[in-house]
Amino acid sequence: MPLLGNKKSVGKKLHEFIGSTDFVEKGTENVVFRTCKEEKNRVVFQIGTSDAVRALTAAQIVCNDVAAIDINMGCPKSFSISGGMGAALLAKPELIHDILTTLKRNLETPVTCKIRLLKSPQDTVELARRIEKTGVLALAVHGRQVVDRPRDPAKWSEIADIVAALSIPVIANGDVFEYDDFQRIKDATGASSLMVARGALWNASIFSPLGQLPWEDVKREYIRKSILWDNDIKSTKHTLKEMIMHYSCLELPEGKAVIKSESLADLA
C-alpha cells in the first residue's frame, strides 16, 4: 500500500460506530487500512515495496495493530513489477536481504515474506535459505513461477524441497479450492500451514469442514457484512466480481449491476 510509505500522509483514528481502527489518508476520507483490536493477533499486514527505508516507514505505522509484517515478493502483476515490487524482487537477493534485515533490526513485530518459484528448484531453495538467514519468522511459497498462469498446476513437490531445506515454518500456497485440499497440500509438501487465495475469494465457506455453502448464499452474506462493517466499495466490488466470474458471468444483469454500482447501498 504505497500511501503508507509516508507517515505525514496517513492518520490513525477510531471509527466509533463500528469500533474499528482506521488508517486514513490525511485530507480525505479514504481508508487505506482498517482493522480492530479483536484481530490484532490474527492480521498480517502485507507490504509491496522496493525500498527498505520506505518499507520500514510503512511498517512502523501499523506494527502495533497487527500480528506480523509480510513483504510481498510474489505478485506478478505489471503494476507491481514495474515498480520493482512483488516478483521483481526475486531477481534481487541483495535488496531482499536489505529490506528484511532492516525490518528485523527495527521492529519487535514478527516479519515474514512470500515468494514464488524460480526457474529451477535449486535456485528457489538457495533464495529461501538466504531469506531464512535474515531472521524472518516464516516463509510463504506460491507453487508457481512468474511465467505460469493460474490454470497451470501448482508445483507442490518444489514447495516440499523448500520445506526440507529450511528450519523455519513454510506456508504452502497454490491450488487449494476445497476443504479436503488443506490436508492434501500439507501431506504433499510437509508445510507447517497453508495460504488460500482464489478459493477463499470465490467462496469463503471453503474453510468449513461441513462443506461449502452455495455461492449465492455466501455472496448475500458478504454483501450484508460489507454494509454492516462499512467495507470499502472498491474492495467489495472486486470480490463480488471474482465470485460472479467464477460461478456465472459478468455479462449477465447481476454482473453488470455490480460493475455499475457506486456505493454499498447499490449492492443491497
209 grid coordinates: 469442514
What does the mean pLDDT of the chain come to? 94
CB 114 within 8 A of CB 141: yes
State residue 208 phi and psi, 5-degree precision.
-85, 125
In this prediction, residues 137-155 reach a mean pLDDT of 96
- Report residue 9's pLDDT band, with 50, 70 and 90 as the boundaries: confident
pLDDT tens per residue, range 234-263: 999 999 999 999 999 999 999 999 999 999
Tens digits of residue pLDDT in 100-139: 999 999 999 999 999 999 999 999 999 999 999 999 999 9
| Nearby residues of 62 by Cβ (< 8 Å), 6 or more positions away | 4, 23, 33, 35, 45, 69
101-to-97, 179, 213, 219 alpha-carbon distances in Å: 6, 36, 43, 41
Catalytic residue among 36, 63, 75, 249: 75
Asked if the model's pLDDT at residue 51 lies above 50, the reply is yes
- Going by C-alpha positions, the residue among 199, 207, 267 that lies closest to residue 235 is 267
Stretch 79-88: mean pLDDT, rounded? 95
What percent of the chain shows pLDDT beyond 90?
90
pLDDT per position as a tens digit, 203-240: 999 999 999 999 999 999 999 999 999 999 999 999 99
pLDDT at 142: 98
pLDDT of residue 3: 41
For 21, the grid coordinates are 481502527
Q: In this predicted model, what pLDDT tens digit does every residue of 14-30 receive, in sequence order?
A: 998 899 999 998 888 78
**pLDDT band at residue 8 under the 50/70/90 scheme:** low
Q: Pick the closest to residue 85 from 64, 58, 109, 125 (CA basis).
A: 58
What's the whole-number mean pLDDT along residues 20-49? 92
Question: Cell 500439507 identifies what position?
Answer: 186
Residue 160: count other Cβ atoms within 10 Å of its Cβ. 21
For residue 70, what are the CA distances in angstroms to 48, 195, 232? 9, 13, 22
Per-residue pLDDT, 179: 96
pLDDT at residue 29, as a whole number: 79
Identify the pLDDT of residue 7.
Answer: 52
User: Residue 55: what pLDDT?
Assistant: 97
Say yes or no to pLDDT of 2 above 50. no
Q: What whole-number distance in Å separates Cα of residue 68 and Cα of residue 64?
A: 9
Number of residues in the chain = 268
| pLDDT exceeds 50 at position 1 | no
Give me the mean pLDDT over the 194-203 stretch. Answer: 96
Q: What is the pLDDT of residue 5?
A: 47
Q: Among this protein's residues, is 113 annotated catalytic?
A: no
**Count of CB atoms situated within 10 Å of the CB of 240:** 22
3-class SS of residue 103: helix
Q: Is the pLDDT of residue 6 over 80?
A: no
| DSSP E strand stretches across the chain | 10-15, 20-25, 31-35, 44-47, 68-73, 111-116, 138-142, 170-173, 193-195
Scanning the structure block, which residue is given the C-alpha cell 488443506?
A: 182
What's the mean pLDDT in 73-94?
A: 95
SS3 content of the chain, % helix, strand, coil (to 5): 50, 15, 35
